[in-house]
C-alpha cells in the first residue's frame, strides 16, 4: 500500500468515534411494512383487504433499501427492512463527507453499524460511494498540488475503506456521477484535475479491486432515464474504462425520478445500459410526487401513475438476462425517511407510507412481476 505524506498520514488513519451530522448531504438536483404478524401490530400493517408478500419473496432479483445508522434504532423500520429487502446501501455514511473528518481523521462508527446490521439480518451490503466529484474533503484539498502526495493519499483512502469491508461489502459504487449533466462530457473535479479525467477513475477501480478482488465494482450516475445524451456519454465512459483495463464490474442507474417521467423511459434506459453485458443496478430509486399534483385530477390518479413508474422498473429489471439483474435498490422504504421528504414535506416518493403501511404502488410493483 502506498505511503501518504507524513503530515496527512498522522490524522488520516486515526479513527474517530464522533457521530456524523444528523442528515445527509443535499444534492443540487431535485429532479413505512407490509408487516408480518410477528413483527408489527395489526394497526401498523398493510391496509385491510390487501395481503402482499414481502418484496424479497416476489422479485426475481435482489431488492435493496438505503439505510442510515440511526435508523437501526427504530425497531419498526429495522423490522420492515429485514422483512422486505435482501440488500442495504448506506445512504450517506460511507461517503467521504462522513468518513473523512477534520485533518484527515477517519471515522467508521456509522458504516460499521450498518455493516453489522446487514450481517446480523443476512442482508447483502452495497458500498456507496468511494469517489464523487461533489465531495472533496479539506484534508485532500490541502495536499500539495504535485501528483505524488495527492495520489498516495487517494490510494490510501480507497485501500483503507474497501479493505475494512472486505468480505462484508459485496459491491461498491466506485465512481459516482462522473458525467456532466448535459451529457457533453465528464465533470471537472478535484480528482480529475489532480490525477486526470480518466486516470483517477481507472486508478480507483484498480485500487478497489486490489483491496477486495471479489467485490463487484460499479459506475453509478443519475438522470440516465431522462437524458439519452447523458446515457450515451455514460456508456462511452464505461467502454473507455474497460478498454483502459479498469476492473469495472457493473453499471448503476440511480433512478431518482418523478411522475413526469415518460412511459417507457426506464425500460429504454435499461435496454441501452444492458448492451455492454455488465450487471445492472437500479441503485437509488424513488418516484417523487411533489410538484406534480396539478397534472392529475385526483389523488387516486396520482397514486396510479406512481405505481406505473415503479411497475415499469420492476418489469424492466425482471426482463433482463438473469446475469445482469444485480439489484433494484429503493432509496428508503417509508416516506418519512426519504431525502426527498426532507427537501419537501409534501412528497410521498416511496412504497410505504410514514407508518410503514403498503401504498398502492407496492401492489403495482409486485403485480408487474407476475405478468
Q: Take residue 306 and report the three cell numbers written for it.
A: 406512481
Q: Which one of the listed residues 97, 206, 225, 284 is annotated catalytic? A: 284
Place of cell 410503514: 356
Q: Catalytic: 177? A: yes
Q: Take residue 52 and report the three cell numbers written for it.
A: 402482499
Q: Catalytic: 141? A: no
Q: Which one of the listed residues 91, 97, 177, 206 is annotated catalytic? A: 177
Residues that are catalytic:
177, 284
Amino acid at each position: 500500500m502506498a505511503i501518504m505524506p507524513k503530515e496527512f498520514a498522522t490524522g488520516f488513519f486515526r479513527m474517530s468515534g464522533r457521530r456524523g451530522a444528523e442528515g445527509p448531504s443535499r444534492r443540487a438536483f431535485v429532479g413505512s411494512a407490509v408487516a408480518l404478524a410477528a413483527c408489527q401490530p395489526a394497526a401498523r400493517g398493510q391496509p385491510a383487504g390487501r395481503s402482499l408478500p414481502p418484496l424479497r419473496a416476489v422479485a426475481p432479483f435482489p431488492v435493496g433499501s438505503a439505510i442510515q445508522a440511526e435508523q437501526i434504532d427504530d425497531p419498526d423500520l429495522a423490522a420492515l427492512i429485514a422483512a422486505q429487502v435482501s440488500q442495504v446501501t448506506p445512504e450517506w455514511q460511507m461517503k467521504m463527507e462522513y468518513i473523512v473528518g477534520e485533518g484527515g481523521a477517519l471515522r467508521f462508527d456509522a458504516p460499521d453499524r450498518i455493516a453489522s446490521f446487514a450481517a446480523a439480518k443476512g442482508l447483502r451490503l452495497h458500498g456507496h460511494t468511494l469517489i464523487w466529484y461533489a465531495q472533496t474533503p479539506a484534508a485532500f484539498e490541502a495536499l500539495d498540488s504535485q501528483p505524488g502526495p495527492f495520489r498516495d493519499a487517494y490510494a490510501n483512502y480507497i485501500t483503507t475503506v474497501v479493505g475494512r469491508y472486505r468480505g462484508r461489502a459485496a459491491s461498491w459504487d466506485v465512481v459516482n456521477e462522473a458525467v456532466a449533466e448535459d451529457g457533453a462530457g465528464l465533470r471537472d473535479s478535484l480528482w480529475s484535475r489532480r490525477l486526470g479525467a480518466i486516470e483517477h477513475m481507472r486508478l480507483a477501480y484498480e485500487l478497489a479491486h486490489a483491496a477486495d478482488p471479489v467485490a463487484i465494482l460499479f459506475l453509478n450516475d443519475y438522470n440516465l432515464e431522462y437524458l439519452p445524451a447523458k446515457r450515451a456519454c455514460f456508456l462511452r465512459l464505461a467502454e473507455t474504462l474497460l478498454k483502459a483495463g479498469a476492473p469495472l464490474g457493473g453499471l448503476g442507474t440511480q433512478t431518482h425520478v418523478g411522475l413526469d417521467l415518460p412511459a417507457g423511459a426506464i425500460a429504454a434506459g435499461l435496454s441501452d445500459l444492458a448492451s455492454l453485458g455488465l450487471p445492472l443496478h437500479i441503485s437509488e430509486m424513488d418516484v417523487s410526487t411533489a410538484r406534480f399534483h396539478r397534472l392529475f385530477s385526483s389523488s387516486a390518479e396520482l397514486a396510479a401513475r406512481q405505481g406505473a413508474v415503479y411497475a415499469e422498473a420492476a418489469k424492466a429489471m425482471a426482463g433482463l438476462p438473469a446475469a445482469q439483474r444485480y439489484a433494484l435498490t429503493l432509496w428508503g422504504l417509508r416516506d418519512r425517511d426519504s431525502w426527498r421528504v426532507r427537501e419537501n414535506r409534501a412528497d410521498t416518493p416511496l412504497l410505504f407510507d410514514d407508518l410503514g403501511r403498503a401504498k398502492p404502488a407496492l401492489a403495482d410493483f409486485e403485480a408487474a412481476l407476475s405478468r
